[in-house]
Amino acid sequence: MAAGLEIRQQRNLHLGRWFTLAVLIAILAVAGWFGYRYYSTGEQPPVPIPAALAAVNPDVDESTIALEDVRKHVVSTEQPRYLSIPSLYIDEARVFSVGTKANSELDTPRNIHDVGWYEKSATPGAH
């Protein structure tokens, strides 16, 4: 081997590069954990509810509805009368026709145990 100049490349890993690498690994680990939890259980992280939306609405009636009142609920033949979702333990919730408020928000029934059907939407069985 001939004598001469020998050049070796030397890598300098600065503190900033190590920090960036650590942050990227942490982000990937957290994303992987939430991805695994969502994939295995369908669980999503909680979404905070703004305080304005969580405020108590005095117009909402939270009282339970007597079975007699549920049976007395009458609507026209082309409108839905009850909504039942057995997997959610909802048995014959009364359905009321609702429109929009003056500010264009969708209106809701007054009782929390009732459901609304938008008056301008298609009805069950309509094409």
- Which DSSP category does 101 fall into? -
Interval 18-61: pLDDT, tens: 899 999 999 999 999 888 888 888 766 677 766 666 566 667 78
Number of structural domains, the chain?
2
Q: Which amino acid is at 7?
A: I
Q: What would the mean pLDDT of 106-120 be, rounded to a whole number? A: 89
User: Same domain, yes or no, for 57 and 113?
Assistant: yes
Residue that the structure tokens 């590069």 belong to: 17
Residue 84: inside a domain: yes
Flag whether 21 is in a domain.
yes
**Cα 34 to Cα 44, 109, 120, distances in angstroms:** 8, 36, 40
Are 60 and 89 in a shared domain? Answer: yes
Q: How far apart are CA 68 and CA 107, in angstroms?
A: 25
In this prediction the pTM is 0.52
- Host domain of residue 71: 53-118
Amino acid at 42: G
113 located within any domain: yes
Is the pLDDT reported for residue 1 higher than 60?
no
Q: Tell me, yes or no, whether 33 and 58 share the same domain.
A: no
